């Protein structure tokens, strides 16, 4: 099975940087995904890592270390619209398993 | 435009009644999935299907049933055997390629009274 851990909540100021950590223990690994979910809405895809290292996409970056079972999502130049839940998910051969999500609150 | 459609958005049912949630996709994805989300919890997998006429139980399949008669459709029935059916239900689909995540529907919020 999968065991995926991430912090429950984080708060940051507009314009700042926030790093959301995710640790995982899995029986199979075919990639790690980050999703953004606003309250009451469907998750939307942010990033994908399958090899070690950093993937950058505009204000969002994601890092993976397979040997450590560790990933982080970095959100730069925070905006009020970034207030949302961020879900870490690991894919085995057939399906995605999700962490409980980290709620990020951006303050003015 | 291609996408995945869930209906209805809100659903109310009396306790003891079965209810079926619809999920349709026109993305030509092989795999489809049903997740349940409760407040403060992540998405938990109910059932998934990799191919037509085949499906597997996820982590919390008890009290639920599915069918996959067409590639485009993967309806979920919440039966009276499900002890706590009130939740936000999300359907997703994905291609067989490993580096693809899922596309999610907009969800159905089921309330059982």
Q: Which tokens is A103 given?
A: 């709620």
Query: Residue A82, SS3?
Result: helix
A and B: number of Cβ contacts within 8 A: 57
**Do the beta carbons of residue B27 and residue B83 sit within 8 Å?**
no
Q: How far apart are the first and last CA of chain B?
A: 36
Distance from CA of B37 to the nearest CA of A (A): 9
On the question of pLDDT at B96 being above 90, the answer is no
Test B50 with A94 for CB contact under 8 angstroms.
yes
How many residues are given for chain B? 113
Phi/psi for A9 (5° steps) reads: -140, 150
DSSP A81: G
User: Quick one: pLDDT at residue A1?
Assistant: 59
CB-CB neighbors (< 8 A) of B44 in chain A = 98
Mean pLDDT of A52-61: 95
How far A101 CA lies from chain B's nearest CA (Å)? Answer: 6
Is 70 exceeded by the pLDDT of residue B1? no
Residue range B12-24, pLDDT digits in tens: 999 889 999 999 9
Contact A92, A32 (CB under 8 A): no
pLDDT of A37 reads: 95
CB contact under 8 A, A100 and B99: no
> Between B40, B43, B101, which is nearest A48 by CB?
B101
| Chain A residues touching residue B58 (CB < 8 angstroms) | 95
Contact call for A98 and B43, based on CB within 8 A: yes
Chain B residues touching A31 at Cβ < 8 A: 98-99
pLDDT of residue B39: 84
* C-beta separation of B82 from B13 below 8 A: no
3-state secondary structure A43-69: CEEEEEECCCEEEEECCEEEEEECCCC
How confident is the model over B79-100, as a mean pLDDT? 87
B16–chain A nearest CA distance, Å: 26
Q: What is the pLDDT of residues A63-102, one digit of tens each?
A: 999 999 999 999 999 999 999 999 999 998 778 899 999 9
Q: State the smallest CA–CA distance between residue B71 and chain A in angstroms.
A: 17
DSSP for B25-85, please give it. Answer: E-S--SEEEEEEE-TT--EEEEEEEEETTEEEE-TT-TTEEE--SBTTB--EEE-TT-S--
pLDDT in tens, A16-28: 999 999 999 988 8
């Amino acid at each position: 099975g999968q065991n995926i851990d991430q912090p429950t909540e984080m708060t940051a100021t507009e314009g700042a940087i926030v790093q959301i950590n995710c640790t995982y223990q899995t029986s199979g690994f075919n990639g790690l995904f980050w999703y953004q979910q606003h309250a009451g809405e469907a998750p939307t895809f942010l990033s994908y890592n399958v090899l070690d290292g950093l993937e950058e996409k505009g204000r969002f970056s994601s890092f993976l270390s397979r040997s450590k079972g560790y990933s982080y999502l970095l959100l730069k130049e925070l905006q009020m619209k970034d207030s949302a839940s961020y879900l870490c998910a690991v894919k085995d051969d057939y399906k995605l398993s999700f962490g409980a999500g980290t709620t990020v609150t951006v303050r003015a | 435009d291609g996408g995945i459609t869930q209906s209805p958005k809100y659903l109310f049912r009396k306790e003891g009644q079965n209810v079926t949630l619809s999920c349709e996709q026109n993305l030509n994805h092989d795999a489809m999935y049903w997740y349940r989300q409760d407040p403060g919890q992540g998405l938990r997998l109910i059932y998934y299907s990799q191919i037509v006429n085949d499906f597997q139980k996820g982590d919390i399949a008890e009290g639920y049933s599915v069918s996959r008669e067409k590639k485009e459709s993967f309806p979920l029935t919440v039966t009276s055997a499900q002890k706590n059916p009130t939740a936000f239900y999300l359907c997703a689909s994905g291609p067989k390629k490993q580096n693809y995540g899922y596309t999610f529907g907009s969800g159905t919020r089921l309330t059982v009274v």
